[in-house]
Chain A
Amino acid sequence: MNLRTLLLLALFSLAPWVWAAEPAAQIDALHEVLIKAMKHGGTASERVGIVEKVVVDNFDFESIAKVSVGREWQKIGADGQKKIVDLLRQLSLATYADRFDSFENQKFVSEGEVKGKSGTVVKSHILRSNGEKVSLHYYFRNGRIFNVVADGVSDLALRRADYGSILRREGFPALLAHIERNIEELR
């Protein structure tokens, strides 16, 4: 292996970090697409089509799934892991399409980045037309979002508690069935 090949390999291995946009820019792009989806209105599946790329590109669904199922992650095997990552991706898309369904002069206001011990937080808020403000903090790990905190309530921490309770009481297949039902209800 010559020096040129080595350099190319090194560059490719660093690619996600080198080429990824800054977290604040990623959030601006996400917000822009959410505004577009709200202005479009239409059906839920149309809005899923609008937000899909930006959500899939910017969210780390594997990390979200790992925290959500905790130590069960190992026990559910590769198929189970693949299944829950896919369902969480679908759930996230359905939720965004459901929550951001109509435009009423909402504005997303960026408040900048805060560097934490093991990642970055991008702080922002939605400003509704009646002056109501809802804070939105996006937690990044390795360049992708893995947690959204709305007015102090962490989406991932809630998911971990909620899913953990179902896993303990009903098991993994029941958890998958619950999530599938959730997605159907949102569509």
Chain B
Amino acid sequence: MKNCDSFKRLILLPLVLVFTGLMGGCATLEGDPWAVYDPLEPTNRKFHTAIDAVDRRVIAPVARGYKTIMPDWAERGVTNFFRNVRRIDSVANSLLQGKAKNAGEDFAGLLVNTTLGLGGLLEVGGRMGLKHHDEDFGQTLAVWGVTRTRYIYLPSGPATIRDAPGTAFKSWIPSVILSGGYTFWVGAMDLLSVRADALPLSDARDQTALDAYVFTRDAWYQRRKFVAFDGDPPVDDLFEEFEEDFEAVLDAETEASDSSGDSSGNSPQ
């Protein structure tokens, strides 16, 4: 009966999330599914400021403490364990996207880590060349034609309406798989290991970013595209983007020299 309940939770929650997510962001735009689309920026900025304040005051310092206390091998073990549990998501979404090879590789990695890797504490699959593909439901929806949806800033971090259900599902997987074993403290450990792993990124952001909101949003979009293309996005996309920038600068220079030419031409002799 308990297993049956877990199964229902496993199936129903994502469906509800997908439905509400898609209905909430009903309209999707044509075009690059990985281009920034943030019409809710003023609201998102407020959420970002509030969530960031909590993170800076509470979560990040605790994660820093966790990183200091935990020996490296233990910290890596915890990260590996939860990453391995969540790999089931990558297997399912590889299949949903028709990427049988990726699904096979992720499934083999999951199997090897769970058995030879002591329940996932050791990343044995990686050493055997089994790549972790990190597919998720947001990427699946993009493949299925849900293109650009609104950017939203959630307590879990950046997302879009398209990606939010998949993100929620992914964070929820360990509680389903471990069922009663996913106690408050195990959940806290899960959260802290995720946050501790992200510390180098948030530190780099704090060191570099002038506008933390824009920096986080754009970095997230770029990273999503990178993962969606299995680490090999087309190089010409960026070249084209920058060529447009160079042309815009050139146009501005031409306009300026034209107008100065006009004004000198119109000036009294």
Contact = CB atoms under 8 A, between A and B. Distances in A.
Interface of A: 63, 66-67, 70-71, 73-75, 95, 98, 114, 116-119, 121, 130-131, 135, 137, 139, 141, 146-147, 149, 151-154, 156-158, 160-166, 169, 175, 178-179, 182, 185-186
Contact of B248 (A70, A146, A149): A70
A141 B233 CA distance: 19
Nearest to A175: B210
Identify the 9 closest CB pairs spanning chains A and B, nearest first: A152-B226, A74-B252, A165-B211, A161-B218, A165-B214, A67-B245, A121-B235, A178-B210, A116-B239
Contacts of B215: 158, 161-162
Interface in B206-253: 207-211, 213-215, 217-219, 222-223, 225-227, 231, 233, 235-236, 238-243, 245-246, 248-249, 252-253
A177 B177 CA distance: 51
Contacts of A63: 246
A160 B207 contact: no
A163 B245 CA distance: 14
Nearest to A95: B208
Given A153-B222, A162-B215, A166-B211, A135 B249 contact: no
Given A151-B226, A153-B226, A182-B208, A74 B235 contact: no
B235 A114 contact: yes
B235 A137 contact: yes
B210 A116 contact: no
Interface of B: 36, 76, 126-127, 207-211, 213-215, 217-219, 222-223, 225-227, 231, 233, 235-236, 238-243, 245-246, 248-249, 252-253, 255-256
Contacts of A116: 235-236, 239
Contacts of B233: 152
A186 B207 contact: yes
A94 to B, nearest CB: 10
A169 to B, nearest CB: 8
Contacts of A139: 235, 238-239, 242
B219 to A, nearest CB: 5
Nearest to A169: B211
A116 to B, nearest CB: 5
B249 A161 contact: no
A37 B85 CA distance: 40
A161 B225 CA distance: 17
Contacts of A121: 235
A154 B218 CA distance: 9
Best-buried of A116, A121, A164 by chain B (most CB within 10 Å): A116
Contacts of A74: 249, 252-253, 255-256
B249 A66 contact: yes
B208 A117 contact: no
A161 B76 CA distance: 34
Contacts of B227: 152
Contacts of B222: 152-154, 157-158
B218 A67 contact: no
16 contacts: A67-B246, A73-B249, A116-B235, A147-B242, A152-B223, A152-B227, A152-B231, A157-B222, A158-B215, A160-B245, A162-B214, A162-B215, A163-B210, A165-B210, A165-B211, A182-B207
Contact of A157 (B210, B213, B231, B238): B238
